[in-house]
Amino acid sequence: MTALLPPGDSYDAIRAAFRWHIPARCNMAAEVCDRWADGSGRLAMLEVSADGTTDRIGFDDLARRSRQLANLFLSLGIRRGDRIGVLLPQCQETLLAHLAAWRIGAISVPLFVLFGQEALSYRLADCGAVALVTDGEGAAKVASVRARLPALHHVLDIDAWHGQMERASDSHACTATGPDDPALIIYTSGTTGSPKGALHAHRVLRGHLPGVEMPQERFPQPGDCFWTPADWAWIGGLLDVLLPSLFHGIPVVAHRMAKFDPEFALRFMAQHGVRNAFLPPTALRMLRQVADPARFGMKLRSVGSGGETLGAEMLEWGRGAFGLTINEFYGQTECNLTIASCAGMFPVKPGAIGKPVPGHEVAILGTDGTVLPRGAAGTIAIRAPDPVMFLGYWNRPEATAAKFVGDWLLTGDQAVMDGEGYVTFVGRDDDVITSAGYRIGPGEIEDFLQSHPAVAAVAVIGLPDALRTERVCAVVVPKPGIAGDETLARDIQRSVATRLAGHLYPRQVEFVEALPQTTTGKIMRGELRRRFATKD
């Protein structure tokens, strides 16, 4: 277990000493599987079924079975550079499909099991997938749109493939791929326009490692065991948890949760010895509603979270619930885990994401593409080349070019970097509210209202206003048993105006039963803006 982050007694010393080590021959299947498949029976995965049965899977078995699947792919005529869709939940077959694809130099395409027919059809057609690995449920979804997918020659149902695999040879030499050879297409959530396929190379795994090690408090440590409720179809589940953990020889807990149950999650982590967790903000907000979470007896060593700013209230709750500081991290599908917190390395500032992860050059750019001085708000940008950075959007050269200004990749996220290097997230370009001359980020108001005794969840948006350009609107989910009425709306408005700031006062308050969210747990503020834009 050798970490990429060098030893050091301070963030500055660690950052100064950091060097990338990207080998000339680089294949993710070899890096997360073969290096530990030495006949020792080392544990790779604990797969927990719906009835609680636990299957212990070793690296030796993963290596043998993924070689068999690689040979099965080859027997079907699948070759280097072909795209293979993977439509499966958290389970060992998901990992096997990716490993086998990379072994033969193919490109795997993770797909979310809750996608409907249209979403699947679009992605499979866009990338020209020649094969799909799925289960009976997934196969049934795709059957009705198969006519639209002329390139899709093979649908492999894992419920029926075991006989084919067992007949296949378990002897296969990993294709000699380099760090810049394509390995993976992950589709963006498509908040603007159609989803785009971010094409990543084999180096992307090593590019992620410092950004995992930092928020997970110098991961790996002896006895570590990693779990996330985030689906492995997303970059947060696949490259923030599954692959980095296996790279370090640390076991991952796999379980398909049909719906996130906070009490179950706490009990689950305690029962299976989870020491490291990636818990999206949505999951944390649900866990926060559980009384005395420490009673479940978790033995967590580190918790990371990303996707939405947590704020002081949630950080303080995490210290009481888990006995540790939740470390935030930041990234996006195209260039992930470039900013992070690490309480063991430097003080965590409430409201700040953290500091640039060693190995990544991060700056705040103005609208003209110049680097802004500390304290100025602008766009988060990462300088190329960078091992974690995508190769480009699949078949979208214009969109790829638009993502860059010179050597800088533009994230489209607004933030401020202070004099100490802390980055504070302001909001997406289209989430920043311009009201009466003020540029208002929703995070500060949301963090404040999250501490209101009647508020279970909240999203803050800007709505068109003839006088102010935009007016601040708070969309609130009241706690169970509390009425979302005019009295509560006035109390929320008064609290913000008197305790936070007058210019942040929400002139409109709306109550909903639940906030719309993307499949990765991010609040869909665009949908809320559309829903309430017509109200005065």
The residues, ordered by sequence, that sit 6+ positions from 247 with a Cβ below 8 Å of its Cβ are: 31, 32, 205, 209
Confidence (pLDDT) at 506: 95
pTM of the entire predicted model: 0.85
* Structure-token match 């390995």, residue found: 183
Alpha carbons 308 and 304: distance in angstroms, whole number: 12
Bridge partners (DSSP) of residue 196 are: none
The answer to whether residue 462 is domain-embedded is yes
Q: What type of residue sits at position 408?
A: W
Query: What Cα–Cα distance (Å) separates residue 519 from each residue in 114, 334, 460?
Result: 8, 17, 19
DSSP characters over 49-62:
-TTS-EEEEEHHHH
Looking at 147, 182, 202, which one is the last position of a domain?
202
Q: What is the pLDDT of residue 62?
A: 98
> Given pLDDT bands bounded at 50, 70 and 90, which one contains residue 179?
very high
Q: DSSP states of 13-49 as a string? A: HHHHH------SS--HHHHHTGGG-SSS--EEEEEE-
The pLDDT tens digits of the residues spanning 21-48 come to: 999 999 999 999 999 999 999 999 999 9
Among 202, 223, 253, residue at a domain's last position: 202
What is the CATH classification number for the domain harbouring 138? Answer: 3.40.50.12780
Q: What's the rounded mean pLDDT across residues 1-10?
A: 87
Answer whether residue 271 is part of any domain: no
- Domain tally, the chain: 2
pLDDT of 319 above 60: yes
Instruction: From 202, 228, 243, give the residue that closes a domain.
Output: 202
Choose between 312 and 381: higher pLDDT. Answer: 381
Phi, psi of 156 (to 5 degrees): -100, 115
Note whether residue 528 is domain-resident: yes
Q: DSSP 3-state assignment of 244?
A: helix
pLDDT band, residue 436 (cuts 50/70/90): low
More confident residue, 1 or 26: 26
Q: What is the pLDDT of residues 466-488, one digit of tens each?
A: 777 789 999 999 999 999 999 99
Alpha-carbon distance 391 to 261, whole Å? 37
Quickly tell me which residue has 């997303």 as its tokens.
234
State the CATH number of the domain containing residue 467: 3.30.300.30
Asked whether residue 392 is assigned to any structural domain, the reply reads no
| 477 found inside a domain | yes
- Examine the pLDDT at 190 and tell me if it is beyond 60: no
Residue type at position 250: I
- Domain that residue 469 falls in: 430-532
469 within a domain of the structure (yes/no): yes
Q: pLDDT value at position 519?
A: 65
| Amino acid identity at 202 | H
Q: What is the distance in angstroms between the CA of the first residue and the CA of the last residue of the chain?
A: 59
Q: What is the pLDDT of residue 437?
A: 57
pLDDT digits (tens, 9 = 90+) for 380-419: 999 999 999 999 999 999 999 999 999 999 999 999 999 9
28 part of a folded domain: yes
Give the whole-number percent of the chain exceeding pLDDT 70. 97
pLDDT band at 359 (very low <50, low <70, confident <90, very high): very high
Compute the average pLDDT of residues 429-450. 76
Query: What is the arithmetic mean of pLDDT over 102-122?
Result: 91
Residue 189 has pLDDT above 70, yes or no: no
Confidence of residue 536 (pLDDT cuts 50, 70, 90): low
420 assigned to some structural domain:
no
C-alpha to C-alpha distance for 312 and 310, rounded to whole angstroms: 7
Strands (E), 384-454: 392-393, 404-405, 408-417, 423-428, 433-435, 438-440
Cα separation, 487 vs 280, in Å, equals: 32
